[in-house]
Structure 1
């Protein structure tokens, strides 16, 4: 592994050099264990601690199949599916691995008593399997997390419709929170040259998800002038939705839960911000009963910020806690587009406000290769920026996942895998200099240097 890292850090090694590097027999990876899936039985979701279930293990390097690539992972990041994997909700991921393992001799590799998780990476291609033409050893890449087989006609208009569509590192093994990762070659995209490894690893899943959900013809088809309600607008997903809305000429109404998160949205360029905690919105009277008066109060507040207009699009992902309000506040003919349910999967809303006002609920799940490529292209062009706030070493991934689970983070939480420190991997300093303030927008300010004559 040291030889691999040395070659990457040299920035001088070519394809032949990387192809000649010996592969190790094993590598370090963050895993969950099949024999521990009941460890949180009977506990409330909020009390389940990823620090107890995530392990740093030494695992064998998987064999390489046709159309696949083995990547040296310099950095990765934590997504909500990493948290779900760690707390075994809504189901332990080992059922996914068992089903995938039954598919073929090749996929049997994925059905193991441990699961290497993680659905983002930035790194360097080490090997490619038979049939791979577009990528070669030494290529600096990021990976999106859509794994497809494309043996059914259903997937050839939109690959997300492939019956064998899976999320890599969640529904497959050998994910990105590790020193090495196994991906299909059609998951790979060029690493944005002006970003560090940890910055480049941050956008993948969430930026692609937000792009499909908000911009794509498969989602809300955002257009100039649209009012867009964005829940959790400074979070890992919402921060990209906010940037995409602004870049597309729309007017985001950003919902956050603290003054600090409101300031982040203002720094991105948003003007309309609702601090739901400060303004005391409580959409549920109790566990069984929603409060329509709060929907109406919320809708009135939105109109105050938009000049009297309702929102054209609601960017939904909290789920149960907010869905009734989301359906209510969308304008007549508007769209509620949902990609997750982090506060609960059983949604309740008053259907009169949907059917009588001709609104639409659109389900959106990750992105196809084209959508992920376009989302990554916007990052490479400096139009959309990473929202990285905190970076942990691989050994502290449990704490990183705990931060996301407890919602004490902003933007994305990164993880250094092979990279020995932050700040490495920049190949285009000129572009970086033009965007450095936006790149660092979510990072805490550096400590002030001691003034002359003071002691620490």
Structure 2
């Protein structure tokens, strides 16, 4: 592995140099183990600790099959699906691997007693399998996490509708929180060359998800002048939604949980920010009863910030805690678009505010191939910036996942894999110089 790292860090490395590297028989990856799936039984979700279940383990190196690529992972990042996997909620991911393993002989390799997690990466192509033409060893890449088969016509208009659609590193094995990763070659996209490895690894999943959710015809179809309510607006997902809203000429109303997070949203350019903790919104009276008076108080506060207008779009991902309020505050004919349920999957709302006001609820999940490329293109052009706040070494990915689970983070939390330190991997220094302050906006310690 040292030989691989040394070669990849060289500025004059060539494709034949990388193709000639010897592959190790084993590599280190962050895994959850099938034998541990009952370790948190009976515990409240908030008490489950990813540091106890997410372990660094040496695992055999997979060989790329047809249409696949083996990547040397320089850096990765934590997403909420890694948190779910590490606490075995809503169920252990080994059921996903078993089902995928039944799909084909090639997929059977994924059904293992360990699961290498991670749905983001920035790195270098080491090997490609038969039938891969676009990419070659030495290419510097990032990966989106959409894994599809496309043998059904259902996915050919929107690849997210493929019956065999899966999220790489969550519903498949060999993910990005590791020294090596196995991906389908059509997951690969060019690395934005003004970013470091850790910066380039952080936007993939969340930026693409936010792009489909807000901008795409498959989501809310954001337009200039829209008022957009964004929950968790300084978090991993919301920070990209805020940037996309601003870039598209919309007016984000950012909901956060602390003055520090409010300050970040203001630094992004958002003018309307609600600190829900300071204003003490309590949408639930108890575990079973919501409080419509709090919905109304929240709606009134939004109108104070928008000049009397209700929101056109609600960018939803907390789920149970906020969904009733989200449906209520959307304007007549407005859209609530949801991509997750980090506070609970069972949503409750007063349907009168939906049907009588002709509102829409749109389900959105990751992004199709085209949407992922468009989202990455905005990053590569310096229009959307990483929201990286902290970086951990590979050995401390469990701590990184813990901070995301406990909402102690802001923006994205990165993980160094083969990159020996932060700050490496930049080639377009001129573009970086133009945007360096925006790139470092979320950093606790600027590099």
TM normalised by structure 1 equals 0.97
Q: Distance in 1 between matches of 2:3 and 2:67?
A: 25
Matches of 1:322 and 1:42 in 2, distance apart?
25
Matched residues in 1 for 2:430 and 2:266: separation? 26
The whole-number CA distance in structure 2 between the counterparts of 1:412 and 1:66 is: 33
Is residue 257 of structure 1 aligned with residue 257 of structure 2? yes
- Name the counterpart of 1:311: 311
Is the partner of 2:115 in helix, strand or coil? strand
Q: 1:446 to 1:243 in 2, by over 3 A?
A: closer
What SS does the corresponding residue of 1:10 show, helix, strand or coil?
A: coil
Offset at residue 446 of structure 1 (A): 5.5
Residue 146 of structure 1: CA displacement?
Answer: 0.3
Local SS of the residue matching 2:9: helix
What residue number does 2:140 align with?
A: 140
1:172 and 2:172 matched: yes
Aligned partner of 2:355 in structure 1 is 355
CA distance in 2, matches of 1:151, 1:195: 36
Distance 1:372 1:385 in 2: 15
Q: Distance in 2 between matches of 1:42 and 1:271?
A: 43
Moved more, 2-11 or 235-244: 2-11
Cα offset, 1:7, TM superposition: 1.1
Partner Cα separation in structure 1 for residue 400 and residue 444 of structure 2: 16
Find the residue that maps to 1:69 and give its secondary structure: strand
Structure-1 separation of matches of 2:103 and 2:73: 27
Separation in 1 of the partners of 2:241 and 2:131? 36
d(CA) in 1 for partners of 2:12 and 2:282? Answer: 57
Q: How many residues of Structure 1 are paired with residues of Structure 2 in the alignment?
A: 447
Alpha-carbon distance between aligned partners in 2 of 1:308 and 1:167, rounded to the nearest angstrom: 41
Indicate how the Cα distance of structure 1 residues 79 and 446 shifts in structure 2: closer, same or farther if over 3 A, else same: closer
Give yes or no for contact 2:440–2:446 (8 Å, CA) kept in 1: no
Indicate whether 1:188 and 2:188 are aligned: yes
SS in 2 for 1:254: strand
Deviations 1:328-356 (Å, cap 9, x if unpaired)? 00000000000000000000000000000
TM-superposed deviation, 1:126: 0.4
CA–CA separation in structure 2 for the residues paired with 1:386 and 1:168: 21
Question: What is the rounded CA distance, in whole Å, between the counterparts of 2:270 and 2:64 in structure 1?
Answer: 46
Following superposition, the deviation at residue 63 of structure 1 comes to 2.0
The equivalent residue for 1:391 is 391
Counterpart of 1:451 in structure 2 is none
Q: Which residue of 2 aligns with 1:324?
A: 324
1:152 maps to what in 2? 152
Q: Do structure 1's residue 65 and structure 2's residue 62 form an aligned pair?
A: no
Unaligned runs of 5+ in 1: 448-456
**Which 4+ runs in 1 deviate beyond 3 A?**
none
Question: Within the alignment, does 1:22 sit opposite 2:12 as a pair?
Answer: no
Q: In structure 1, what is the Cα distance between the partners aligned to 2:404 and 2:256?
A: 15
- Answer yes or no: is the 8 Å Cα contact 2:332–2:359 preserved in 1: yes
Corresponding position of 2:342: 342
Q: Which residue of 2 aligns with 1:11?
A: 11
TM-score normalised to structure 2 length = 0.99
Q: Deviations over 1:205-240 (max 9, x none)?
A: 000000000000000000000000000000000000
CA–CA separation in structure 1 for the residues paired with 2:359 and 2:429 = 47
Give 1:3 deviation, angstroms: 1.3
Unpaired runs of 5+ residues, structure 2, are none
- TM-superposition CA deviations, 1:378-415 (whole Å, max 9, x none): 00000000000000000000100000000000000000
SS at match of 1:302: helix
**Alignment partners' CA distance in 2, 1:11 and 1:262:** 40
Residues 1:91 and 2:80 are matched in the alignment: no
Give the superposition deviation at 1:14. Answer: 0.9
Query: Considering only aligned residues, what root-mean-square deviation do their CA atoms show, in Å?
Result: 0.7
